[in-house]
Amino acid sequence: MPIALEVTLIVVLVALAIGLVPLLFQLRRTAQGIDAFLLASRRDLAQIAEDVHASRLRVDHLAGSLQTSLDELSAFARVVGEVGRTVKDFHHRFNCTIDSASRNLGGIIGGVSTVLSFFKSRRTHHERDLEK
């Protein structure tokens, strides 16, 4: 091998070694930073997991309270519906009773009116006969 090639190869290897040493130091610092980050993240993630668990428990409690409230509201709405239906039925019966009573009273008044007019017309015929 010519001497120039050997010198070039040695210079390239020295330059590569000189460039690799800072690169290796930088990789070591990066690995240490990643390790510190992961340790901090582990503590933070544990706290986050506890917070999420506590939040889930609170949401479960709220859901239970909401379910109880909705059950009570449903029972109340059912009772109000039954009361409304009873009032409607009572109103219908009362209305039918009033209609029936007014028809009966109208029939009685009409009958009395007819009887009175019969007696009145009979009396007027009788009075005409007396006048003659």
Tens place of pLDDT for every residue, the chain, 132 residues? 588 888 888 888 888 888 888 888 999 999 999 999 998 888 888 889 999 999 999 999 999 999 999 999 999 999 988 988 988 888 887 777 777 777 777 788 888 888 888 777 766 655 555 555
Phi, psi angle pair for 12, to nearest 5°: -65, -45
Stated pTM of the model: 0.43
Show me where the domains of the chain are located.
Answer: 1-101
b/e per residue 39-67 (b: at least 16 CB within 10 A) = eeeeeeeeeeeeeeeeeeeeeeeeeeeee
HSE-CB of 75 using CA atoms within 13 angstroms: 5
